[in-house]
Amino acid sequence: MLAYIIRRLLLMIPTLFGIMIINFAIIQLAPGGPVEQVLSKLSGQGSEISERITQNRDDLGSSVGSQVSTNSRYKGAQGLDPDLIKELEAQFGLDKPLHEQFLLMMGNYLTFDFGESFFRDRKVVDLVLDKMPVSISLGLWTTLLVYLISIPLGIRKAVRDGSSFDVWTSSIVIVGYAIPGFIFAVLLLVLFAGGSYLTILPLSGLTSENWNDLPPLEKVLDYLEHIILPVTAMVIGGFASLTMLTKNSFLDQIGQQYVVTARSKGLTEKRILYGHVFRNAMLIVIAAFPASFIGVLFTGSVLIEVIFSLDGLGKLGFEAVFNRDYPIMFGTLYFFTLVGLLMNIIGDVTYMLVDPRIDFESREV
């Protein structure tokens, strides 16, 4: 067991390195880097910038004319001093060759030094810690409700396979699987949060502005009022696949020979289901838990957080991509990939806890 865990931990190194270098290369090919973001803001100021450039030319003479950029690889750099472009590149760490940028970044990440945001003037770690409670809150509630709904429902569908109950619940599952969670989020807003119908739940945010002034019980109620719509949207969009996974896993085990043998010995269906089938069928469900939890916690809530104006990790990542804030983009990618790889190892260990017959020592990575 220990040897297997050590091998998996060592395998994480090239896996993490490969993920980072692929994403780094893709980002370099994408148009609109941080320098372009600054230049677009400068050009967006219109005549004010033009007047400043003209004034600088008049003050410094004709020498400025030769320094003004007329041919730059950055869009929006025409008419600006090349020294300004170089200063921006140095400020963002883009004045070095790409391989040096990547190696320097990875060296810092090994010590969990993720640097500072380009456009927020704060350390990436501080930003992540500030936003994490919102995403953790969404992720824990969603994961808990998804498993509490999907596992009993999947077992029931497997036991009553082909019945009317299985048919009409499958229709609900198909609808939940086919319609994205953010569509449900918009629908819930329209129905319950000041759209065309009811206004009984808050439109945005995780708590009210006066939350700190409320008594303890009202704080809890206020929090629940705000969390119910985004969590409902995420649960509706996420329970379908786990329900079908549970059903198919139980159906596969119910058809095994050991179930036939148990029935021939006179065991009750309830004892067969929960005494024998449950342990074997739940292996694949447990194996899917780490990836499911990480997906819900860090990626599944991006659009939900944007729609409900929840200041969490999903919204932070969305804004970082939109603004080309590389430290946030790569820092969060590194951290969450590392967490995801660790959760996969934890999933394998959980396998052993559920079924001790699994031998990791003889397993090849």
pLDDT score of 22:
93
Paired tokens of 214: 């409320």
Closest CA to 89 of 316, 318, 334, 326: 326
What is the DSSP secondary structure assignment for residue 199, as one 8-state letter?
Answer: B
pLDDT per position as a tens digit, 95-144: 788 888 899 989 988 888 888 888 888 888 898 888 888 888 888 888 88
Where are the domain boundaries for CATH 1.10.3720.10 in the chain?
A: 124-354
DSSP code string of 42-110:
HHHTTHHHHHHHHHHHHHHTHHHHHHS-SS-SSTT-TTS-HHHHHHHHHHHT-SS-HHHHHHHHHHHHH
Residue 178's identity, in one-letter code, is A
pLDDT score of 279:
77
pLDDT score of 60:
42
DSSP code string of 102-161:
HHHHHHHHHTT---B-TTT-SBHHHHHHHHHHHHHHHHHHHHHHHHHHHHHHHHHHHHTT
* 80 φ, ψ (degrees, to nearest 5): -105, 155
| Nearby residues of 320 by Cβ (< 8 Å), 6 or more positions away | 117, 328, 329, 332
The rounded distance, in Å, linking the Cα atoms of 139 and 294 is 8
Q: Can you name the CATH fold of 124-354?
A: MetI-like fold (1.10.3720)
pLDDT score of 205:
80
The rounded distance, in Å, linking the Cα atoms of 347 and 4 is 13
The rounded distance, in Å, linking the Cα atoms of 326 and 118 is 7
pLDDT per position as a tens digit, 21-54: 999 988 888 777 777 777 776 665 543 444 444 4
pLDDT score of 53:
42
pLDDT score of 21:
93
Asked if 105 and 330 touch (Cβ cutoff 8 Å), the reply is: yes
pLDDT average per 10 residues of sequence, the chain (365 residues) = 81 91 87 74 51 46 43 58 73 81 89 86 88 84 88 89 89 84 84 76 81 85 88 83 87 86 85 82 73 66 82 84 86 85 79 67 55
Paired tokens of 219: 């704080």
Asked if 214 and 280 touch (Cβ cutoff 8 Å), the reply is: no
| Nearby residues of 109 by Cβ (< 8 Å), 6 or more positions away | 20, 330, 331, 334
pTM higher than 0.95: no
pLDDT score of 308:
85
pLDDT score of 50:
42
pLDDT score of 356:
66
pLDDT score of 46:
41
pLDDT score of 359:
64
